[in-house]
Chains A and B, each alone.
Chain A
Amino acid sequence: MVFSSLLFMFRFLPVVLLLYFIVPRKFRNAVLFFTSLIFYAWGEPKYVFLMLFSITVNYVSGLMIHRLQKDDRNKQARYFLIGAVAVNLLLLGIFKYTDFILGSINSLGAEIPLLKLALPIGISFYTFQAMSYTIDVYRHDAEVERNFISFGAYVTLFPQLIAGPIVQFKTIAKQLKTRKETSDEFVCGLNTFMVGLGKKVLLANNIGVLWDTVSGMPLGELPVLTAWIGILAYTFQIYFDFSGYSDMAIGLGHMFGFRFLKNFDYPYTSKSITEFWRRWHISLGTWFRDYVYIPLGGNRKGLSKQLRNIAIVWLLTGIWHGASWNFLMWGAYFGVLLMVEKLFLLKYLKKAPAFISWFYTIFLVIISWVIFAFDQSSSIFLYLKSLFGLNGNALFDSQSIYLLYNNAVLLAVLIFASSKLPCRLAARLIAWLDTKAGQKTLLAEVIGEIPQDGEFSVPAPRKVRRSASSMACSAASFLLCNGFYIIIFLLSIAYLVDATYNPFLYFRF
């Protein structure tokens, strides 16, 4: 099941909300666990057992590692850790990578039959989550979880189950035991969810149509302008799709009292590739940093080791995105760029005018999406050549102009929406209205996220006498806040009812 569907919003969600808020607090994890299993089983009735197996393995390993360590049997604890990690990776390997490896061997002349297993949806996400728990227990970074239901709820939590963010156990361990569902949290969650829904349904899906049009044309015959319009469309599609999905997950989390960490932080405003990867799919980057890069020694064992570690992490990041050579190339591309920046470029980028560093970054990111988008290397090179006019095609034709003006409004909205501007403007406007009205502004309400320090509101407002104008400002601020989200919601429903086009991009992750 995906969030951006009528099935989720008008069947699943109301049932979960009802169940969750009427049962006593101690049963709420159980509600989440079982509804999440249904959420998963809806699309994958068979693979739900695979997920339960993975949960059990990690749950038992956690318990055993904890007990063995308490008895000072560290060696045995280590065996359990290695065993658990091996099982996790084996599951991932069998279901995601076997055919890729066999296919690659076959291309060298062998004839091994492929397994042809369907990829269990979300396996890359939940395996990483479950694994992080076992490792954290071993490293004493997380408490052992004795309650199977709570642990099950953590792994299967439907908001982040199939497309992330990858939530580390230690970040929500406390919330699994004690969390408070408040109306502030709920409203913040709602707003974040609506923003995500709009990003996915209204922005990503629509610009995706443009990308489909362009990528469906003969790639070697694309005029330069058409090729750029196409890859720009894909650049926006992948960001709004993925970050929209993360926003919906984070929003739903808030509704049930969970605080997941931010997964995207305006990545297209970055001024270096290093910064881009601190802003793009943050939970994945953090995972690889905590469980691969730092254990390998990170940057503390000399430059050559550091470069080696970067290479390993980025090849893994690449192949995590899908079992195909282009994802490996994509990872390697970023690995090389990051090494170059580490070695010398970063200090120049910091000194350069902001526009130059930004342009450098966005240009390289856009090029990376060409590698990401096609799984045939011949298509990648054909497209790259078309981008730079090396196929001998025209600079533009009438169709390029048509595609450009036909999507001009949408493209302008996308550019605006990927900058920090809308958020800042809205926050200013609402805060101004609220000051006039003499009421406190809920930052959460305005920017759809709760400040990390847990402060919800701006400092207490000064008392203003109730007057007609202050009441009007109060009403205006309320209407602006809610009207925006309601419009997004209604438009999204309209687009979903008309669901001729609602692809889900992450089945390969």
Chain B
Amino acid sequence: MRNKLTIAIFLVLVFGLTAASLLKKPVEFSENENRYLAQMPEFSLDSLFSSDEDKKFTSLYETFITDQFVMRDQWIRLKTYTERATFKQDIKNVFFCSDDYLIENYPAGDFTSQTAANNISVLGQFVEQYQEKLGENGVRVMITPTASQILKDKLPPFASPYDQQAFLDSVRSAVGENVYLDAAATLSGHKNEYIFYRTDHHWTARGAFYAYQLWADSLGLEPWQEKDFNITEVSDSFLGTVYSKVNFPNKADSILCYQPESAKMNYRLTAFNGTSRDSLYVPSALEGKDKYTFYTGQNDPLISIQSSGPEGTVERGRKLLIVKDSYAHSFVPFAANHFEETFMVDLRYYNQPLSQLIEEKGITDILVLYNTENFATDTSIPKMLK
């Protein structure tokens, strides 16, 4: 009798979950993970016998089942709860930190790889090449450390994430003292302020603002002050990428909008597909999951911004190119106030020669702006030299 009951429980679980996962309609996009989930792969003899794991039918089907398993998010949450119950201080390289911070650590291998070394040497050549063209002060490089480097005080006791400073030092020596902007030092100086999101891998607009002041100073531009902006909190429910990684309840982040207060500025932002609008911010993004895209929208191959404003703001004839990752998106609303035109190029998606763009648009200033992790691992960096 007891046996029969045990068997019945097992059969109900196995057949029930099987039926449920078969009947469930596949979800296309996971808001929570911010990615497209695997779909039922197409069957063909080629894909069945393929020796490439990424094209093989059987392994694609297995990914499909796992991605589309019934109640996926709840299972993942159950796993996280279990791990936390065993007092684990980090899950999937995310540290559970004080002050409600979730901080991602990146493996040492990312910074010591061949790609990383190669990217640094490419950057060195890039800087040399355009300094010749645009002058000593024409090029600036800002590689910003991530939260694990700046917010060390918040980490669990004895946690020792990879020290990114050595990587930054080699960037500094490759590009030269004059070109390198020490964002690490600046951000560390404000480490007790809200400069990184608690649940996302980006810096906040405030973190970007301090970096902007550093950069503007180095160019001899007079940086705007905080009082020059009307700062409003446009959302207090942002749960970012790091949150998605662990899927564990956490205090949400707020998104701050910096609008020039004293000076009346006009912008014209044009995306790669030709659509344009007159604001640097995208309020509709606040209704979705990835609220960081409130700042100038999604990653786009090329975004251009035309600015105009009263005397003493925009410098006539100066055109800025930012070669960047998404960290630049909350940075550019500050930078754009100084330049007639600002271009943001994302090398991951931009496939035309950069030299041509610089030539055609008459670029006068270049800023290379990445976070350490992206700069170390991005394989599209060599496109800089095209």
Residues of A within 8 A of B (CB): 5-7, 9-11, 13-14, 17, 42-43, 45-46, 118, 183-184, 186-187, 190, 216-217, 397-399, 401-402, 405-410, 442, 445, 478, 481-482, 486, 489-491, 493-500
Contact = CB atoms under 8 A, between A and B. Distances in A.
B115 to A, nearest CB: 17
A394 B90 CA distance: 24
22 contacts: A6-B65, A7-B62, A7-B65, A7-B66, A10-B21, A10-B65, A11-B18, A11-B65, A183-B3, A187-B7, A397-B160, A398-B159, A399-B158, A402-B89, A402-B160, A405-B158, A408-B87, A409-B86, A478-B2, A491-B78, A494-B76, A497-B76
B82 interface: yes
A406 B66 CA distance: 28
Interface string B91-131: 01000000000000001110000000000000000000000
Contact of A406 (B5, B7, B87, B92): B87
B88 A406 contact: yes
Given A493-B75, A494-B78, A186 B7 contact: yes
Nearest to A486: B9
Interface of B is mostly: helix
A216 B76 contact: no
A168 B102 CA distance: 53
Contact of B13 (A409, A489, A494): A489
Interface residues of B, number: 44
A17 B18 CA distance: 13
Interface in B50-68: 51, 58, 61-62, 65-66
Nearest to A194: B10
Contact of A217 (B58, B79, B108): B108
B140 to A, nearest CB: 34
A445 B4 CA distance: 12
Contacts of A398: 158-160
A10 B48 contact: no
A498 B75 contact: yes
Nearest to A209: B92
Contact of B158 (A6, A216, A217, A401): A401
Nearest to A490: B78
Contacts, number: 113
Given A14-B15, A406-B87, A6 B160 contact: no
Given A482-B6, A490-B78, A402 B65 contact: no
Given A45-B48, A478-B2, A491-B79, 4 more contacts: A5-B62, A7-B65, A10-B65, A409-B86
A500 B9 contact: no
B89 A406 contact: yes
Contacts of B18: 10-11, 14
Contacts of A442: 2-3
Contacts of B158: 398-399, 401-402, 405
A442 B58 CA distance: 40
Contacts of B86: 409-410
B312 interface: no
Given A7-B62, A14-B15, A478 B82 contact: no
Interface in B19-44: 21
A497 B69 contact: yes
B6 A190 contact: yes
Contacts of B159: 398, 402
B350 interface: no
A494 B82 contact: yes
A10 B61 contact: no
A398 B89 CA distance: 14
Given A9-B14, A397-B160, A402-B159, A494 B65 contact: no
Given A402-B159, A498-B75, A6 B69 contact: yes
A241 B328 CA distance: 45
Contacts of B17: 10, 493
Contacts of A407: 88
A210 to B, nearest CB: 11
B37 to A, nearest CB: 12
